[in-house]
Amino acid sequence: MALSKELIARLRKDFCLDWHGDHGASHWARVKQNGLLLAQETNADFEVVELFAFVHDSCRVNEWEDPDHGPRAAEYVERLRFEKLFTLGDGQFRQLQRACSGHTHETTNADITIATCWDADRLDLPRVGITPDPRYMATDVGAKMAREK
Ligand SMILES: [Fe+2]
Ligand SMILES: [Fe+2]
């Protein structure tokens, strides 16, 4: 289990937006749910997907335009790891950082774990009135799920 109570408490303390807002905890929980569903078929790393779900938007400073929130999250997770709020191997940690830094402006990635993270996030776009476009999904399973939305 990658998500400890301590980690969630820390994320909540540091998060500067509305915990119940468009990019807050309920979005993170749905991204986790999407991600774990996807990962069963893509064979992505469950721990990385779960952590991505809860950290990828944690450094947003507004609900609209904030193109740097991905790279900020990639930096922020270094501190969380150093403080032992989660444990990942070095390879997994690099995947997590890459998934965070690229999730705002990249479409796909050859690494299936990173691609799965991005699709998990995109599948939750209906919350803000956007239908995910199957053509812009990073995995075949994600594209199939987007078609079914
Ligand atoms: Fe984001
Ligand atoms: Fe997100």
CATH code, 100 = 1.10.3210.10
Closest to 33 measured CA to CA, from 72, 3, 74: 3
Find the domain containing 29 and state its range.
5-148
Of 124, 126, 142, 123, nearest to 39 by C-alpha is 142
**Averaged pLDDT, 56-76:** 97
> Whole-angstrom Cα distance, residue 97 to residue 117?
11
pLDDT surpassing 80 at residue 1: no
Total domains, the chain? 1
> How many Å lie between the centroid of ligand 2 and the Cα of residue 22?
9
Task: Tell how far CA 31 is from the center of its chain.
Answer: 6
For the stretch 68-122, pLDDT in tens is 999 999 999 999 999 999 999 999 999 999 999 999 999 999 999 999 999 999 9
- Ligand 1 centroid to Cα of residue 69, in Å, is 7
